[in-house]
Structure formats: C-alpha cells, structure tokens
Amino acid sequence: MVMYRRARLAGGSYFFTLALADRRTDLLVRHVDLLRDAFRQARARRSFRIDAIVVLPEHLHMVMSLPEGDGDFSNRIASMKVSFVRSLRSKGYVLKPTAKREVGIWQPRFWEHVLRDERDFAAHVDYIHINPLKHGLARRVIDWPYSSFHRYVRDGVLPVDWAGGEEGDVPEAGERQS
C-alpha cells in the first residue's frame, strides 16, 4: 500500500476538494442545511475558518484556515464528514455499507493544496466562486445559492456582477491549463 503524505502547515490556509462517492447524485445541495450543520459541529469541536466555499451537487471546494500552531485539517474534515453522515441517518436516509463496512457516501480521500501566498489564495478563492459556471450550473456567479460569493458581495469584497457569465468575463483562476 502506498503511504499517502499530506503537506501540513500549522496555522496555514488550504484549498480542499471533497467529493461524494457517487458523482451522479445531488445529495450535497439537496441536504445543504445538514452539511452546514456538520461544518458548524466540526468547528465547535476544533476551531477553523472557512474563507471561501462552494457546494455543488456532488462535490465541494473550500479554502480553510487553521489557528496558529495547528496543522490538523484531516481530523476537522473527518469530523464534518461523520457529522453529515449521522445527520442523514437521523433524517431516515438509507446508507448502505461498502465491502469494507464503511458508509460509502464520501470518497475516502480528498484533495488538498497548501496555499503558498496571497496570490495563490486569491486564485483559489476565484476558482471556488467561478465553479458553478464551470459546471454549467448557473449563468452568473450570483445565481448559485451555495457559495461564499454572496458573503464576499455583502462585505463589499466583490461586485455583484463579478464574472457575470458573459464570454470573456471569467477571471483566470484555480486549475492550470496544460
């Protein structure tokens, strides 16, 4: 078995992608209130800040910042995933265990990237906010309800018509093109 290594930077900021095992479902947006509550529960156990987030039907992207001296993002994410699964069960959602006796809602791993500097941070926040357009879920960023973009507009950080969906309006962000 390959030993998977994760970069850990105490007090750092990270970009994450978490995906459901079944990429054809809309479970995350259908139960977005349970997901929000799962994040609140995880934050109550161990502090962290969500700087940006977008929840799509079957995956989410977020930028998370940890407190000074703390580099343990894995347990925070695990806590959120477990809380979400427990909430689904409590609402009567039928969860079938996999061959390994795991509840197969989430993909077992997740993608993380240590944000190196302000420019890297800003590029990933832009990528998060533009993601609903990338996936064809909205014509304008403001039209997708499950995004921290609305907070950025409310706080005056971004204009309401940022990346309005017109050709050429989309800022370069996130993934590198080959």
Judged against a pLDDT cut of 50, whether residue 176 lies above it is answered with no
Structure tokens given for 5 = 């290594």
Catalytic residues: 146
Average pLDDT (2-6) is 49
Superfamily (CATH) of domain 13-154: Transposase IS200-like (3.30.70.1290)
Judged against a pLDDT cut of 50, whether residue 20 lies above it is answered with yes
Share of the chain above pLDDT 70, in %: 82
pLDDT at position 56: 98
Please state the pTM of the whole predicted model. 0.85
